Amino acid sequence: MGRTDATALADGDAALVEDLLAGSHRALARVITRIENRAPGYRGIVAALHEHTGDADVIGITGAPGAGKSTLVDKLAAAYRDHGDTVGVVAVDPSSPYTGGAVLGDRIRMASNVGDMDVFFRSMSARGQLGGLSMATADAVKALDAFGKDVIIIETVGAGQNEVDVVRTADTVAVLVQPGSGDDVQTLKAGILEIGDVFVVNKADMDGAERTLAELEEMVHRREGPTKGLDGGHHGFEVPDHPDDGKEDPDDDETVWTPEVLRTVANTGEGVAELIETFDAHATHLRESGAIESTKRRRYAEEIRTLVRSDVGALATAEIERRGGIDALADSVRRRETDPYSLAAEIVEPIADCVDGDEA
Amino acid sequence: MSAEQETRAVRCLVAKVGLDGHDRGAHVIARAFRDAGFEVVYSGLHRAPEEIVQAAVQEDVDVLGISILSGAHNTLVPKVIEGLKEYDAFEDTLILVGGIIPDDDEDDLKELGVAEVFGPGTPMEETIEFIRNNLPERA
């Protein structure tokens, strides 16, 4: 499959891609900006980078505000650097729905990696429309991957579908929980629980840590239910036959990953080494069980779908404009001159004709 | 296909360099920028020039606002500018300095490449307006 006009690389962009692949930080930063801006030509850039991706371990970190994500990410990055790995971080913060403005504060915590350019830290905000954020994040991760980063960490507040989508673009997902957040653990049950490969009780030197650990352990080993028998789980994990046997039970089924529950004190770095070991174990598990392939297939399928939907949606929007704009159409419905179904059919018809025409 | 909408935003780094520990002003600026619709990265206190360079390059900011109240601007600002040049990021970054800067020094800083110096009492709108009017052209 070749490149079409939409993904052709402009002259200046070819040089930009070359510079990025050659290790220019400036070029990497600029490419991520182009991706964030959805600037003309960014698709060509990402398309050109794609063949250079696939080597990095991608880790997602999510959790409630104040759980210590940024501090932990800082310590993780430093620990990976000690191992000799290069690190990329994409930190996502919400933006104001009114002004679009944002204060991106995650960088303040990056104190352990001062002046170390081999930790590339990038703050992103949730610009624009729904679904766009996870696309932009995934594309930024590709840029970091193509640049040659060994480990890429995506950090985001774990509130809402947007963030869940973002973090789902990672191979390994860690969910951070604060001690004493009894009700928070309850809320984790919906949505977040299914996406965690590792659960981390951070600030584990605080009161209530043991209890939160115990609650998480209990939940992890009882996570049959909503995802049982479905193919929709994050990594297609399956519930063990004897969930009550817990970790002592040797996993006879190689494809099953039972989420680990760990404790850290990000401030002091306690537990960070164990956390990295667990990330590595999960990455190894994904590779050896073959789950990585189904994970990637699902992710790329989602990307293709999202892109196609957004492009077809844009075609439809253009067609609506040609017919006088959405307000005029809505008024004609209000006046009972037509109805929404007929209008939608009329608008989609020319697009459908093109698709059918190609087949004939 | 070009149907996708571009979503460009003005990105700013609000930076505190050196030993001066007063960041109320920087906070107020960061908020005002946010409310103006900018994306603001705040550096935190006591940053070394190389940290500011690292942040400005990686975050690919349009605007770098350096707040210095300690009087060390003649040492710190040139270091930041040198670092930006090293990473090829000087040309298209709008560099602003806020704080208490004597007039003579202001001229020197502008000579170095600082676009404008904003002293105490500058209305927020003036700074925001200046940024809007002087945003660097970018490919």
In chain A, where are the structural domains located?
A: 54-289, 308-359
- Domain count across chain B: 1
CB of B51 less than 8 A from some CB of A: yes
Range of the domain at B51: 46-122
How far are the Cα atoms of A70, A214, B35, B58, B127 from residue B30, in angstroms, in the given order?
Answer: 19, 41, 9, 19, 12
> How far A11 CA lies from chain B's nearest CA (Å)?
12
Q: Let me know if A175 is exposed, middle or buried by CB neighbors in 10 A (0-12, 13-18, 19+).
A: buried
Residue B69, domain member (yes or no): yes
Residue B111, domain member (yes or no): yes
CB of B139 less than 8 A from some CB of A: yes
- Residue A293, Cα to own-chain centre: how many angstroms? 17
pLDDT in tens, B12-61: 999 988 888 888 888 999 999 999 999 999 988 888 899 999 999 999 99
Question: Among all residues of chain B, which has the CA nearest to that of A128?
Answer: B7
Nearest Cα to A154, choosing from A57, A55, A293? A57
Buried b (16+ CB within 10 A) or exposed e, B105-119: bbeebeeebbbbbbe
ipTM of the complex in this document: 0.89
Q: Are A90 and A31 in contact (CB under 8 A)?
A: no
Residue B94, domain member (yes or no): yes
* A20 phi/psi in degrees, rounded to 5: -60, -45
Residue B99 half-sphere exposure toward CB, CA atoms < 13 A:
28
Pick A54-289's CATH classification: 3.40.50.300, 3.40.190.10, 1.20.1070.10, 3.30.420.10: 3.40.50.300
CATH number, domain with residue B61: 3.40.50.280
Residue B35, domain member (yes or no): no
Say which of B2, B36, B58 has its CB closest to residue A101: B36
Our CA dihedral for A144, A147, A151, A157, rounded to 10 degrees, sits at -10
Residue B106, domain member (yes or no): yes
Residue B41, domain member (yes or no): no
Residue B68 pairs with which residues in a beta bridge? Answer: B99
How far are the Cα atoms of B16, B36, B43, B58, B125 from residue B51, in angstroms, in the given order?
Answer: 10, 26, 9, 11, 28
CB of A132 less than 8 A from some CB of B: yes
Q: Which amino acid is at A53?
A: T
Residue B32, domain member (yes or no): no
> How far A342 CA lies from chain B's nearest CA (Å)?
25
pLDDT in tens, A71-104: 999 999 999 999 999 999 999 887 777 777 788 8
Residue B4, domain member (yes or no): no
Residues in A closer than 8 angstroms to B17, CB to CB, are none
Written as tens digits, the pLDDT of chain A (360 aa) is 455 666 778 778 999 999 999 999 999 999 999 998 888 889 999 999 999 999 999 999 988 778 889 999 999 999 999 999 999 999 988 777 777 778 887 888 877 777 788 999 999 887 755 556 778 889 999 999 999 999 999 998 765 666 677 777 899 999 888 887 666 566 565 666 778 899 999 999 988 888 888 888 887 777 554 444 444 445 544 444 444 444 444 444 556 888 899 999 998 999 999 999 999 999 999 999 988 898 888 888 988 988 888 888 888 989 999 999 999 999 999 999 999 999 999 999 888 888 887 554
Q: Report the first-to-last Cα separation within chain A, whole angstroms.
A: 21
Distance between CA B105 and CA B108 in Å, rounded?
Answer: 5
CB contact set of B116 (below 8 Å; sequence gap of 6+): B96, B97, B110, B130, B134
